[in-house]
Structure 1
Amino acid sequence: MTTALETIPREELALRWQRCREALAQMVPEAGGLLATSRTAIYWLSGSWMNGLFWLPREGEPVLLVRKGMERARLESSVAAMAPYRSYRDIAGAVAECGGTLASTVAVEMNGLPWTMGDKLRSALASVTLLPGDAALGFARSRKTAWELAKMRLCGERHNFALAEVLPEMLHAGMTEREVSHAAWNVFFELGHGGPLRMGNPGEETFLGHVAAGDSGNYPSVFNGPLGLRGEHPAIPVMGYAGKVWKRGEVLACDIGFCLEGYVTDKTQVYFAGTPDEVPQAVRVGHEFCKNVQDWLAENLRPGAIPEDLYMHCVAWAEREGLAGGFMGLGDNKVPFVGHGIGLVIDEFPPVAKKVRTPLEEGMVLALEPKFGIPGVGMVGVENTFEVTADGGVSLTGDMHDIVCIDS
């Protein structure tokens, strides 16, 4: 008999549903429920990566609406009410068949649909008022449950082991960025990496992450992160370039995520081809500053902290040290944040950035990534994934944040 690889307990799903309902009551109080449209959100709410929709009423039984894959949904999900549908026009009827009612005002996960499909949904539900539900859903997902934290802690442990202990044994000067990327993949897959590194921002993509040797770290980038890279090709600006060789005396920045059973941790490890005595002074200064910033952020990653305040403190600190020019990227690569939430996707709520005034809560998980670009040299700095606790941020991806020197 076919069995599911894993079934998220109904009690766990019920906790997530309750968090969504609380967020809706606070942020979209006029909505009678949430309609999730992205497969990531549907998985989080149902336990199955489904082609369909998920209706979560403010009260009563949720309904998993399945466009394709009902057999898999029944196998994997502990949701009691499921119904097939072919068209958005079937939504209200399918919910009614399960004993529920589609509310007259619905909060919709709008980022889960392309514009054309959003227009079709609005047309099919012409009598229903559709309001943005993304913020409420994102806030609910930002607070990880104990079940989720267990996944992310194990993910972070393997991530650290890969980048801090195993990969250094495979690196040497003379490797191309592409060869480094492939070596990292081999290590990651051996440790259970699941493959995809999902992004929440519509249209954003990544694959393994960024591998940048020397001045590749400042190469112009369109990715919403500080680390530049040449990538595989202009059409595939990820991983590393086969034509860029990591030379002795150069830094190598590996900003690559680890995925375990859907959950992601983020980590950047900087390597140097040479001995510790050969590390240039500018590299030492920039990296040490980033370590200090990360340490301060982690110490202050407590319930009640305001992300904007944390960000502005770091920006002012860089200005006082005369390091503002390279902090969080050079030129157009500079980004207006020093961290971001993370979980089922890399870029979850909340970012540590201006205008983000939502207080942190215990159980949130954030990737802190202070980086520093050095003209003609590359990028240094750190990134690690932290769990928010009453005693400050606890690193899930290791506590060794120095540059690793590879003298071979």
Structure 2
Amino acid sequence: MDRRLARLRQSLEKLELDGIIIDRRENIYYLSGFTGGADGHLLITAEEALLFTDSRYTEQAARESPDWVLIEEKPPLGKALQEKAGRYRKIGLEDTVSYRFYREMNEKLGESLVPVSGIIEELRIIKEPEELDHLRQAATIGSEVFADLLTTIQPGMTEKAVADLIISGLRQRGAEKESFDPIAVSGLNAALPHGMPGERILQKGDMLTLDYGGFYRGYAGDMTRTVAIGQADEVLRDRYNKLLDAQQYGVELVRAGVSCADLDRQVRNRLGNYGLDQYFGHGTGHGIGLEVHEMPHVSSRSQRVLEPGMVITIEPGVYIPGWGGIRIEDSVIVNDHGCEIITNSPKQLIVI
């Protein structure tokens, strides 16, 4: 935590800020270890590291953030934070705060309040060894759940029943909660990249796309596999193998020094060789950490170059209305010589 604060203070100095107010849940946890989320705020200056929360969380904050100065807020909430921040000439405020919180701070701080964007998120891009271990374990949990699903999914189940199996499996394997609502979409519904599991019954010959993950010690897992139910026809096998080729090609390209935009372009071109790029509408991947979607973004719009310690997904997909869809996703850790694949589940087409 001390190293993170030191890096943040260097950023504040470059921006000529006297301090910064932190409101975002993930950033509060990253800097202080406090899990109280939206019921806490941080004020960080060159000399102080203050944690503000109310009486419901003071004992928790003392345990989780023993090196921080704890200030108990009393009604009206935010007054103590305003008073402390009001001593400084120029205070940054995350631009992700609610409008209500901004108004409350602005009433007291006025022109000294400066909206800032992405300062903490920039620090979070390169993961520390402990963070990488947590992400590896989150990925392992996802892979274990996938192995369990291969023995339990069968024709006649509903998509919703499969999603329920994912949720219970993540908890049983050690996840604190789901990274997001699990996706389990089959048949024509698989053409919906973020479709919601419903009452559709799995039928022989269906494709079934499973996209899910769980948090482990605050760090998110994210993986996708597409399987076939009962049997797979030649069209499904052909399109699956072409997508798998593009996905594996993308993983092979990952290494420090590669631009995210070029990585996205090359994966898209690989699908284009098969005439499938027109069915691939989203980015090739994204960063993963305290949030399931964070920087860097692996897309045509990104200006980021990969660096060692970044953790990203590679997840091309094809979505064809009237037919269905396929997606394959791995989470990988970037290094100087390539990447470490932390999603350890088979990727060949599995018929269950």
Using the size of structure 1 for normalisation, the TM-score is 0.79
Residue number in structure 2 paired with 1:43:
29
SS in 1 for 2:29: helix
Count residues in correspondence.
347
Structure 1 residue 241 and structure 2 residue 198: aligned? Answer: yes
Structure 1 residue 30 and structure 2 residue 16: aligned? Answer: yes
> Taking structure 1 as reference, are residues 228 and 80 closer, same or farther at Cα in structure 2, changes over 3 Å only?
closer
The letter of the residue matching 2:321 is P
Which residues in structure 2 correspond to 1:2-401 (within 5 Å)? 13-24=1-12, 29-50=15-36, 51-57=39-45, 59-68=46-55, 69-86=57-74, 87-94=77-84, 103-111=88-96, 113-132=97-116, 134-163=117-146, 165-197=147-179, 206-207=180-181, 209-219=182-192, 227-229=193-195, 231=196, 240-242=197-199, 244-275=200-231, 279-327=232-280, 334-335=281-282, 337-398=283-344, 400-401=346-347
SS in 2 for 1:345: coil
Mind listing any 5+ residue stretches in structure 1 that lack a counterpart? 1-12, 96-100, 198-205, 220-226, 232-239, 328-333
The letter of the residue matching 1:84 is E
> Taking structure 1 as reference, are residues 102 and 293 closer, same or farther at Cα in structure 2, changes over 3 Å only?
farther
The letter of the residue matching 2:112 is V
Counterpart contact for 2:316–2:328, Cα < 8 Å:
yes
Question: Percent of counterpart pairs with the same letter?
Answer: 22
Counterpart contact for 2:43–2:81, Cα < 8 Å:
no
**C-alpha RMSD of matched pairs (Å):** 2.1
Counterpart contact for 2:218–2:290, Cα < 8 Å:
yes
Deviations 1:141-161 (A, max 9, x none): 111111111111111112112
Q: Give the Cα–Cα distance (whole angstroms) in 1 for the partners of residues 276 and 310 of structure 2.
A: 30
> Taking structure 1 as reference, are residues 15 and 211 closer, same or farther at Cα in structure 2, changes over 3 Å only?
same
The letter of the residue matching 1:218 is A
Q: Give the Cα–Cα distance (whole angstroms) in 2 for the partners of residues 102 and 149 of structure 1.
A: 38
The letter of the residue matching 2:189 is S
> Taking structure 1 as reference, are residues 24 and 376 closer, same or farther at Cα in structure 2, changes over 3 Å only?
farther
Displacement of 1:217 in angstroms is 1.4
Counterpart contact for 1:339–1:368, Cα < 8 Å:
yes
Displacement of 1:379 in angstroms is 1.3
Deviations 1:229-288 (A, max 9, x none): 2x2xxxxxxxx112x01100010001111221221110011111124xxx2333223322
> Taking structure 1 as reference, are residues 25 and 267 closer, same or farther at Cα in structure 2, changes over 3 Å only?
farther
> Taking structure 1 as reference, are residues 102 and 353 closer, same or farther at Cα in structure 2, changes over 3 Å only?
farther
Q: Give the Cα–Cα distance (whole angstroms) in 2 for the partners of residues 20 and 283 of structure 1.
A: 50
Counterpart contact for 2:250–2:266, Cα < 8 Å:
no
The letter of the residue matching 1:105 is K
SS in 2 for 1:158: helix
Displacement of 1:49 in angstroms is 1.4
Q: Give the Cα–Cα distance (whole angstroms) in 1 for the partners of residues 29 and 149 of structure 2.
A: 32
Displacement of 1:137 in angstroms is 1.4
- Of 145-154 and 188-197, deviating more is 188-197
Using the size of structure 2 for normalisation, the TM-score is 0.91
The letter of the residue matching 1:306 is S
> Taking structure 1 as reference, are residues 281 and 31 closer, same or farther at Cα in structure 2, changes over 3 Å only?
farther
Q: Give the Cα–Cα distance (whole angstroms) in 1 for the partners of residues 278 and 186 of structure 2.
A: 21
The letter of the residue matching 1:121 is M
SS in 2 for 1:283: helix
The letter of the residue matching 1:257 is G
SS in 2 for 1:82: strand
The letter of the residue matching 2:156 is G
Residue number in structure 2 paired with 1:330:
none
Counterpart contact for 1:47–1:78, Cα < 8 Å:
no
The letter of the residue matching 1:182 is D
Q: Give the Cα–Cα distance (whole angstroms) in 2 for the partners of residues 94 and 30 of structure 1.
A: 18
Deviations 1:339-394 (A, max 9, x none): 01111111111111123212222111112211111332321120111111112121
SS in 1 for 2:308: coil
- Of 101-110 and 143-152, deviating more is 101-110
Displacement of 1:215 in angstroms is 0.8
Q: Give the Cα–Cα distance (whole angstroms) in 2 for the partners of residues 103 and 55 of structure 1.
A: 11
Counterpart contact for 2:209–2:227, Cα < 8 Å:
yes
Q: Give the Cα–Cα distance (whole angstroms) in 2 for the partners of residues 388 and 16 of structure 1.
A: 21
Q: Give the Cα–Cα distance (whole angstroms) in 1 for the partners of residues 310 and 250 of structure 2.
A: 14
Counterpart contact for 2:243–2:271, Cα < 8 Å:
no
Counterpart contact for 1:109–1:137, Cα < 8 Å:
no
Displacement of 1:399 in angstroms is 5.2
Q: Give the Cα–Cα distance (whole angstroms) in 1 for the partners of residues 247 and 31 of structure 2.
A: 33
The letter of the residue matching 1:213 is S
